[in-house]
Structure 1
Amino acid sequence: MRTSVKILAAISALAFTTPAMAEWWRAQSDHFVVYSEGKEQEALELATRMERVDMAMRAMQNMTKDEDPVPVTIFRFGDTDDIGRLAGSRGVAGFYIPSSNGAVAFIPARKPRARGLGTRSDGDQQLDPNIILAHEYGHHFMLQNFPANYPAWYVEAYAEVYGTVDIQPKGVFRLGLPATHRANQFLYDERFPAKKLFFPPSKLEPGDSRHFYSVGWLLAHYLTFTDKRPGQLTEYLKLVNDGKTSMQAAEAAFGDLEKLSEEVRKYQNTALGAIEFIPNNYQEPIISVRQLTPAEEAVIPYVIKSSRGVTKSTAPGVADRIRSAAAQYSDDKFVLDALIEAEFDAKNFAASDAAADRALAVDPKNSKALLYKGMIRMERGKTDSSEYVAARPYFVKAFESDDHNARSLILNYLSYYKAGEAIPESALLGLEQGYKLSPYDPYSRIVLARQFLNEKKGDLARYILGPLVQDPDEEKSEDRNKKDEDDFIGRCVNYIDAGDLTNASAELTRMLDKAEEDNG
């Protein structure tokens, strides 16, 4: 079961359309698993492009290749309308969800069908799915590889820079190309001074975070791709991570911020340059591609819905569909894994447990089946605390079967926390390891931050929560009172700064309790 970027969000998972006799392909590379509707070549090209995007990010940071990465799963299917329905927001052409169960992304395989005369083209109204995917992977890459806390404007600017990366043959790529998909936005943002990017959240107006994508990108471009202010961006980021506020760091690193704002405004009207980079010792990505089996094709639409997240109303229908497929493909691992999750999401815990037993009969080391066996007992622990004890061996075995299984480590820790027992050192170390395996997951950050607060380690808790403070990718409520009511992390950080770690921990507990209630 996955949670969305908005931990407290209600999730919509509506049906999507698939042309009759559509083929499905699975492409796997070092960093990605792609499930693609359409042609074999399209699956291959998507996995290859994303590996090249990853290579570009590593090359710019002088990073070596991952030894044992945790792949991001990408579902490519339907049209942009289908993606919008799945996201629960019309006009969304792609989106990404981080989770300690594994990060997932969703993009369309084709544009929507024309609706007749007068239909507006999606043209510049919707972003290119490849730009969205590269942008979101920029967030994933930053959180996965750089433990430092970055200001919200720079987080978006960094992702925007890589969103427009131009992939060329033989390893060559160009970086810093203009964000033409923001052209209309730049017209409206012309009067937004760059210095406001450094304001604290309390001094920003509703909707100001949209400037992080345009003016923030322009500022990052100016500081990165020109020689006007060498070393100043690095110094600014260092000062922020040393504990300075964004404004304090900006004044120290950049000097007169009015002057900086004027320089950036003028820079917008110049020919923005890009750099061409030729990596040393380039090797083509290794991609394996195969067509999905009939069993996999039977459940892939419902696996997509489960991966997005289901609601109380949609979960039973998804479970019904996968259950029907499982009756035909009773020994297929992919189908059984889908059934375990779907029955759990529908709160059919006995059926989920039985499906896990079937999966373990096929493969005794099935990590997902072991994980869900433990999760079912965690659910039962709400009324019988002895079930928390029964859950722990399954979490241990799940991690032994798959040492990328961050959720098993986090839940093993929670089995002690929820039971009100003393938490052993092994479980505490496991919690930290779970966070290190999935630093892009908000849930793992919040659970670890609360533990640090309970240990009176306020500085560590604040550091862990840093990327979640004023996240511009979060949908902000127009109702300011509602926004304030849901700002658990903002209040938590304020308590930490005031030295009140007890109330800071209580805020995170309220947030986690509400997330559990909302997400079922």
Structure 2
Amino acid sequence: MRMWAALLLGIGWMMALPGTAQAAWWQAKSRHFTVYSEGNDEKLRGLAERLEKFDFLLRRLHDVTDPEQGSPVQVYLLSNDRKVQKLAGNPNIGGFYTTSDRSAFAVLARGEKTGKFDFGAEEILFHEYTHHFMLHHFPAAYPAWYVEGFAEFFSVVKFPKSGAIEFGHVPMARLPGLVLGQPYPLEYLFARDTGDLSRRDGDRYYGTAWLLTHFYQYNKTQRGKEIASYLADLVRGVPDRSPDSYFEGGLAGLEKDLRAYMRHRLSASSLKSNEMKIGEIVVSPVDPAQGALVEDELRLINHPNADELPAIVTAIRATAAQFQDSAYAAALLAEAEWAAEEKDAALADADRAIAMDARSSRAHAVRAQVLLERAHDSDKADDWKAALTAIVRANRADTEDPVPLALFYRYHAMRGGKMPDLGYDGLYKAFTLLPQSPDYRFNVVRAMAARGDYATASLLLDPIAYSPHASNMREAAIRLKAELDGQAAQTSAEKAKKTGNPAPAP
């Protein structure tokens, strides 16, 4: 009886602890991913293992040999679709991918596919991770159909019990559009992006992009060479040529062959388990404070509007109050307060987090941002020194955190004068850690332009300027790219004028 009483008392004490309910959050850490899940079961380790196999597949097929480059992708498995949809502000999705200033992350629900022709959350994740991989390892001016077709091609992978990974399968969610609606006309596929497509035409567009990419991947005849030549010229920036000129019989001839290809049994491929090396996967419980804050942290880093920030700060503050001894909670609260322009509170909570954990790069970074703004306003030497010290400490706390690296460049840009090489190096490293971030890409582009390297700056804008998705950022990239191309041409002409042109051959 005493044993049962003691056990019940212990359970009651545990339930009374703040945040104990959130201790159900677990994480699986692997080489390229950290997967967070509400619950520790086969889904957690299984997803981490499948993601590592998928990453290995992409590296093997595309001869990528830098497995440690870049920040690990964070994947959050939420308990249901409603949470994902509310976070995304979209009632029609089961998962999404984006970047913060510190990491690339994906959010999806734990549920399974509801039907053969539905999109599964993991298919969405593999599609988006393929975009992530392309941006990291071979960003270029690919046409919209190839960017999406490439991601669709790798979105449907299978993991048989043998431990292998199969790829090249038909994306069943696109099949009705292809079969019932017919393939999207190639003259339009080559000419447009994904903007303003209806649901029906969207399925046809993505399905045809997949089909053409599949045709390219498996076709070793002249057609495959023609597509390869077309893509290579786009990447090299060859002056505009009509797509018709690359293909025997023009796009009409290519379309005829593509429709014939669709009527045949399509190939798929497999990578055997003994060919794959995925490394160790470590599963462990998430710190209770971090677990309690997961969903509010996602709200904070998922690009909220300014009018959403006060409610996010209030929610994080309420949870952080339950974990007074958590540096993680204090640092996250400081970051939220800084975003909401509660600067004094942000500095106080950053200092509180640092007092508990001097290795908190996040807290040091918030402190640096507050002090940097203070120095800019006062222009006092002591304030500039304090800001620089905070930036250096943030970098030392985590040398792979891109935020302090970008702040170091910003410090010198704000202070004025000649930018030291270390400033450029820091910004470039931040970019290489997270090249999927459009902010870091734009910053590096502007830095290169400031150094007079207009051609390289223009080239780095290609993934945004040629994005398949219309946006204000894409329009800004197109305008900036035109300016950079003009400056590059002017610089080249001035150099030629100074050196003189070689005399014509007799």
TM-score using structure 1 length: 0.80
Equivalent-residue separation in structure 2 for 1:262 and 1:434 (angstroms): 46
1:412–1:248 CA distance, 2 compared to 1 (3 A): farther
Q: CA deviation at 1:239?
A: 2.0
Q: CA deviation at 1:438?
A: 1.4
Q: CA deviation at 1:61?
A: 1.8
Equivalent-residue separation in structure 2 for 1:150 and 1:352 (angstroms): 42
Paired position in structure 2 for 1:432: 428
> 1:340–1:355: 8 Å Cα contact kept in structure 2?
yes
Q: CA deviation at 1:325?
A: 2.9
Q: CA deviation at 1:197?
A: 3.5
**CA displacement, residues 105-141 of structure 1 (integer Å, 9 cap, x when unaligned):** 1101237xxxxxxxxx975785210001011110111
> 2:334–2:366: 8 Å Cα contact kept in structure 1?
yes
Task: Give 3-state SS (helix, strand or coil) of 1:190's partner.
Answer: coil
Equivalent-residue separation in structure 1 for 2:169 and 2:365 (angstroms): 44
2:235 corresponds to which of 214, 227, 241: 241
> 2:467–2:474: 8 Å Cα contact kept in structure 1?
no
Task: Give 3-state SS (helix, strand or coil) of 1:167's partner.
Answer: coil
Equivalent-residue separation in structure 1 for 2:248 and 2:159 (angstroms): 33
Paired position in structure 2 for 1:80: 81
Larger Rg: 2
> 1:99–1:438: 8 Å Cα contact kept in structure 2?
no
1:215–1:390 CA distance, 2 compared to 1 (3 A): farther
Task: Give 3-state SS (helix, strand or coil) of 2:264's partner.
Answer: coil
> 2:144–2:192: 8 Å Cα contact kept in structure 1?
no
Q: CA deviation at 1:281?
A: 4.2
Q: Given residue 24 of structure 1, which amino acid in structure 2 is its aligned partner?
A: W
> 1:53–1:167: 8 Å Cα contact kept in structure 2?
no
1:280–1:363 CA distance, 2 compared to 1 (3 A): same
Paired position in structure 2 for 1:350: 344
**CA displacement, residues 402-453 of structure 1 (integer Å, 9 cap, x when unaligned):** 2222222222212222344321121012222222221111111111112222
Q: CA deviation at 1:189?
A: 5.9
Q: CA deviation at 1:77?
A: 0.7
Q: Given residue 151 of structure 2, which amino acid in structure 1 is its aligned partner?
A: A
> 1:74–1:106: 8 Å Cα contact kept in structure 2?
yes
Which stretches of structure 1, 4 residues or longer, exceed 6 Å deviation after superposition? Answer: none
Q: Given residue 37 of structure 1, which amino acid in structure 2 is its aligned partner?
A: E
Equivalent-residue separation in structure 2 for 1:100 and 1:426 (angstroms): 20
Root-mean-square deviation (CA, aligned residues, Å) is: 3.1
Task: Give 3-state SS (helix, strand or coil) of 1:67's partner.
Answer: coil
Task: Give 3-state SS (helix, strand or coil) of 2:97's partner.
Answer: strand
Task: Give 3-state SS (helix, strand or coil) of 1:422's partner.
Answer: coil
> 1:29–1:287: 8 Å Cα contact kept in structure 2?
yes
Flag structure 1 segments of 5+ consecutive residues without an equivalent. 1-19, 112-120, 477-482, 503-520
Paired position in structure 2 for 1:417: 413
Task: Give 3-state SS (helix, strand or coil) of 1:496's partner.
Answer: helix
Paired position in structure 2 for 1:492: 480
1:282–1:373 CA distance, 2 compared to 1 (3 A): same
Equivalent-residue separation in structure 2 for 1:46 and 1:279 (angstroms): 16
Task: Give 3-state SS (helix, strand or coil) of 1:364's partner.
Answer: coil
Most deviating of 461-470 and 402-411: 402-411
Paired position in structure 1 for 2:197: 207
Equivalent-residue separation in structure 2 for 1:424 and 1:254 (angstroms): 53
Equivalent-residue separation in structure 2 for 1:312 and 1:295 (angstroms): 25
1:140 corresponds to which of 132, 138, 152: 132
Paired position in structure 2 for 1:509: none
Q: Tell me the matched-pair count.
A: 464
- 1:179 maps to 2:200: no
Q: Given residue 334 of structure 1, which amino acid in structure 2 is its aligned partner?
A: Y
Percent identity between the two aligned chains: 28
Paired position in structure 1 for 2:16: none
> 2:32–2:52: 8 Å Cα contact kept in structure 1?
yes
1:334–1:126 CA distance, 2 compared to 1 (3 A): farther
Equivalent runs, 1:74-473 vs 2, <5 Å: 74-110=75-111, 123=115, 127-186=119-178, 190=182, 192-199=184-191, 206-207=196-197, 210=202, 213-228=206-221, 229-244=223-238, 247=241, 251-252=245-246, 256-278=250-272, 281-283=275-277, 285-380=279-374, 383-386=377-380, 390-473=386-469
Q: CA deviation at 1:377?
A: 2.6
Most deviating of 133-142 and 184-193: 184-193
Q: Given residue 207 of structure 1, which amino acid in structure 2 is its aligned partner?
A: L
1:162–1:458 CA distance, 2 compared to 1 (3 A): same
Paired position in structure 2 for 1:114: none
Q: Given residue 353 of structure 1, which amino acid in structure 2 is its aligned partner?
A: L
Paired position in structure 1 for 2:14: none
TM-score using structure 2 length: 0.82
1:99–1:329 CA distance, 2 compared to 1 (3 A): closer
Equivalent-residue separation in structure 1 for 2:158 and 2:317 (angstroms): 44
Equivalent-residue separation in structure 1 for 2:249 and 2:408 (angstroms): 49
**CA displacement, residues 166-209 of structure 1 (integer Å, 9 cap, x when unaligned):** 123454221110111112333576353224443377xx984399
> 1:337–1:359: 8 Å Cα contact kept in structure 2?
yes
Equivalent-residue separation in structure 2 for 1:83 and 1:187 (angstroms): 31
Equivalent-residue separation in structure 1 for 2:312 and 2:172 (angstroms): 39
> 2:139–2:462: 8 Å Cα contact kept in structure 1?
no
Paired position in structure 2 for 1:4: none
> 1:29–1:47: 8 Å Cα contact kept in structure 2?
yes
Q: Given residue 177 of structure 1, which amino acid in structure 2 is its aligned partner?
A: H
Q: CA deviation at 1:292?
A: 2.7
Q: CA deviation at 1:267?
A: 2.1
Paired position in structure 2 for 1:41: 42
Equivalent-residue separation in structure 2 for 1:346 and 1:225 (angstroms): 52
1:191–1:217 CA distance, 2 compared to 1 (3 A): closer
> 2:127–2:154: 8 Å Cα contact kept in structure 1?
yes
> 2:402–2:433: 8 Å Cα contact kept in structure 1?
yes
1:296–1:452 CA distance, 2 compared to 1 (3 A): closer
Equivalent-residue separation in structure 2 for 1:38 and 1:133 (angstroms): 19
Equivalent-residue separation in structure 1 for 2:165 and 2:240 (angstroms): 32
